[in-house]
Every structure is written in structure tokens, then in C-alpha cells.
Amino acid sequence: MFTGIVTDLGEVRKVIRGEGRETRFEIASHYDTATIEIGASIAHNGACLTVIETGPDWHAIEASAETLSKTSLGGWTEGTRINLERALKVGDELGGHIVSGHVDGIATVVDIRPDNQSLRFTFETPVDLAKFVAPKGSVALDGVSLTVNEVEGRRFGVNIIPHTQSATTFGTLKPGDAVNMEIDMLARYVARLLERD
């Protein structure tokens, strides 16, 4: 489990694409890798992935063909910057919202406009996820916990403050970019309960 509060900006340092098997990514970060156990879970742009190896300033993960097809990981190359968050520990501060690290789909950046010191982003969701997005609700985009400002059909807006622009990959996004989207867990279960009526 995660909170959607990014704790480091990592960078893909190596990609080894397998034929008919997993793709291996080596991720450079500022984490103390001596404290990362093999088998640990780390969210990479919101996708929970298992650490399979560590080095002095990097860790390695593998992604299946399914993960590559359902997330933005398939487009990662050497130099790609990614949002990282280590898994919650008992007693950690819950600063964002509960995030599972299971990506529901891909949202697309439609527009970015200045809004005082912030940036107002407009995203478009896949058709099947639009019903889960509500004004003042939570959404995780590329692993970042965000509050939804407004919703119109499949589009919704969020404000990105200067800190988030510099501490995450949001400072480099542009219209047309794809981001991993995880809907709010509460919205998912409420919708499921309503389907049973």
C-alpha cells in the first residue's frame, strides 16, 4: 500500500527487453538501497513493482507483458524520469490517500494552463473509468495523489502546485502525454455496491 506522496524522482538507467518474458528495468534513485530488501514493493509512476536486485544507487524490477500493455511502462527508455514511492510501514504518515499501486488505465494530458503559481492540468480518462472520478475526490496519476477540481464527461482538472511540479514528473508533462491512473479505492467499492442493487 502507498499514499501517493512521491519520495524520490528516479531515472531509468537500463532497459533489457526480453522476448516472451519480462522486461527488466534498472532504476537509479537517491534511496539508500541497503535498506531495500529483495522482494520489496516500490511504486514506479504508480505501478507497484517488486525489487529483484539492488546496486549502490539503483534497483532492478521486472514488468510482465501484461503490465507493459496496461501501463505507461512500455514506453520507458533509458533516461525516462519516474515518480517513486516506497511501500507504507505501520506508523507512517498518511499524507495523500490510500493507493494500492494497481494501475486501472491510462489517462491523457489534454491541456496545461497557468493558474497563478500553479498549473491547471486537464486529463481525459478511458471511458470505463470516467464514472469513478468526482469533484473533490481523489485520484492517483503516475503515482501522485491529487484532488479533482472539476469533471466534465471524461475530462477532469487538477491543480499542480510548484512543489509538486519540481518534486515529481508533472513539471515535464505536456499535452498528449500518457499517465498511469488509479481510481480512488473508495469510489471503486461504492460503485460495486451500487451495481448489486
Beta carbons of 84 and 43 less than 8 angstroms apart: yes
Residue 12 included in any domain:
yes
Span of 5-19, 25-39, 50-64, 90-104 with lowest mean pLDDT = 90-104
Integer Cα distance of 51 and 41 in angstroms: 6
Domain enclosing residue 42, as ranges: 8-86
| Residue where a domain terminates, one of 56, 86, 116 | 86
Residue 195: CB atoms within 10 Å: 7
Do residues 57 and 110 share a domain?
no
What average pLDDT does the segment 187-197 reach? 65
d(CA 35, CA 159): 34
pLDDT digits over 47-104, tens only? 999 999 999 999 999 999 899 999 999 999 999 999 999 998 777 777 778 888 999 9
pTM of the prediction?
A: 0.92
Q: 63 and 111 share a domain?
A: no
Share of the chain above pLDDT 70, in %: 93
Position 1 in a domain:
no
Distances (CA, A) of 193 to 58, 185, 196: 42, 13, 5
Shared-domain flag, residues 80 and 110? no
Region at 99 (left for phi over 0; alpha for psi -120 to 50; beta for the rest): beta
Residue 8 above 90 pLDDT? Answer: yes
Residue 111 shares a structural domain with residue 181: yes
- SS3 of residue 99 by DSSP: strand
Q: Tell me which residue of 44, 66, 46, 192 sits closest to 107, measured CA to CA.
A: 46
**Shared-domain flag, residues 19 and 75:** yes
In a domain, 148, yes or no: yes
Q: Tell whether 138 is covered by a domain.
A: yes
Provide the CB-side half-sphere exposure for 55 (13 A, CA).
12
Q: Which of helix, strand or coil describes residue 110?
A: strand
Q: How far apart are CA 178 and CA 127, in angstroms?
A: 15
How many structural domains comprise the chain?
A: 2
Examine residue 94 and state whether it is found in any structural domain, yes or no.
no
% of the chain beyond a pLDDT of 90: 80
Residue 121 lies in a domain: yes
Choice between 194 and 159, residue whose per-residue pLDDT is larger: 159
Q: What is the CATH number of the domain that holds 183?
A: 2.40.30.20
